[in-house]
Amino acid sequence: MFQPLVGMDLTDLAAALSPSQPGYRARQIYQALYQGQAGDLVAISTLPLGLRQELAERHALGLPTVDRVFESTDGTRRYLLRLADGRTVEAVLMPEEHRDTICISSQVGCPVDCKFCMTALMGLERSLTAGEIVGQVLLVARQNQLRQEGGRLNIVIMGQGEPLLNLPNVVKATRILLDPAGFALSPRRITVSTAGIIPQIAELGREPVRPRLAISLNASTEEQRQELMPITRKYHMKDLLAACKAYPLRPWEKLTFEYVLLNGVNDSDADARRVLKLLAHLNAKVNLIALNPGPGIPYATPLPERVASFQAIVRRGLPCFVRKPRGLDIYAACGQLKSHSQSATGPASPPSPEHS
Ligand code: SAH
């Protein structure tokens, strides 16, 4: 089995090289992998050809391959990416006027059983390695000529999986993405989203290099949250909010709370008032998203007026934004593309893949 280079930090690379290599080689490879977004090991022209060949005998570059791409009329591109063991994960590029956001996965499937989420229906297959997490960013950036400089590029770890149940690999990947000698993104430009794994929130807060933190709240009472997000039976909302209060924010940072609006379930004005009350004492902002519906999801999307009313109430006390649903025509909800490609009995077919 060829050992992948993507995902290695400087220490790993130095250890992978033979002792006869000069000390600066590890740094050269590191730069080529992450700053240079290398697409082919043998094409890394800063290295002597002999070394490239030697590396290629033992290592693969380790980028995922593109299994399928779907392009939405709104410009969103969904990638179904194939990993070395044949499993697939999703990454999504959402281009906007002033920024590009790549949404990446942290696990194949997910063990957290949220009732409105398509990925939950798959269960957990396995966690991703640091290389597979970074590899999604490198692949999508390369395919779309996105550069890390210039402050346009944002990464959100909000695809398949629960990132805080794969924290060591998420942290290692984040370090590489944020390292000025690595992918060199600003720490403001990576966000990790959690369903609320409380011990790991504290652990993340102790990391010197870490992404911004978003919490998927999705309910306004303990009971409602237990119903929608069974993980709350283990990690109570009250304790989650206490962990948020104790979370060490950097001077420029706010916590983000995400809230999926489900028609007639958690989207009333009373819910909005409760959300405001729950979060008012935190340095936070709220992102609302109307449900992206999908097969097997027993909820409906609220009307825009309902979303607007909810937002207006939360806005009385906190910054509150409505996230535009993206790529509805290409099955944009979490996990939809993969679920659809695995089942023969989905509803309408998504549009034909751009590449196959
Ligand atoms: N497990 C992590 C990250 C993956 S889910 C978490 O829970 O945060 C990323 C976000 O997508 C979460 O805020 C989740 O609530 C939201 N989400 C999941 N399914 C959705 C759907 N069908 N429509 C809209 N948002 C959804």
Q: Whose CA is nearest to atom 5 of ligand 1?
A: 158
Whether residue 241 is predicted with pLDDT greater than 70 in this model: the reply is yes
CA–centroid distance, 216 to ligand 1, in Å, is 7
Cβ(331) to ligand 1 under 6 A? no
Q: Whose CA is nearest to atom 24 of ligand 1?
A: 291
Cα separation, 68 vs 87, whole angstroms:
13
- Chain-centroid distance, C-alpha 238: 25
pTM of whole model > 0.75?
yes
Cα separation, 135 vs 126, whole angstroms:
16
Model pLDDT for residues 260-272, shown as the tens digit of each residue: 999 999 999 999 9
Catalytic residue among 114, 244, 320, 334, which? 334
Model pLDDT for residues 158-191, shown as the tens digit of each residue: 999 999 999 999 999 999 999 999 999 999 999 9
Contact call for residues 238 and 232 (beta carbons, < 8 A): no
Whether residue 356 is predicted with pLDDT greater than 70 in this model: the reply is no
Banded model confidence at residue 149, pLDDT cuts 50, 70, 90: confident
Ligand 1 pocket mutation pick from 104, 117, 256 by most atoms within 8 angstroms of CB: 117
Model pLDDT for residues 279-334, shown as the tens digit of each residue: 999 999 999 999 998 888 999 999 999 999 999 999 999 999 999 877 777 765 55
90 is catalytic: yes
CA–centroid distance, 163 to ligand 1, in Å, is 12
Average pLDDT over residues 147-162: 93
Contact call for residues 135 and 128 (beta carbons, < 8 A): no
223 is catalytic: no
User: How does DSSP classify residue 6?
Assistant: T
How close are the terminal C-alpha atoms of the chain, in Å? 26
Q: Residue 305: how many CA atoms within 13 Å on its side-chain side?
A: 0
User: How does DSSP classify residue 192?
Assistant: E
Cα separation, 308 vs 165, whole angstroms:
34
Instruction: Looking at the CA of residue 159, tell me the nearest atom of ligand 1.
Output: 4
Q: Which among 215, 218, 209, 115 has a CA at the least distance from the CA of 162?
A: 215
Catalytic residue among 90, 132, 162, 258, which? 90
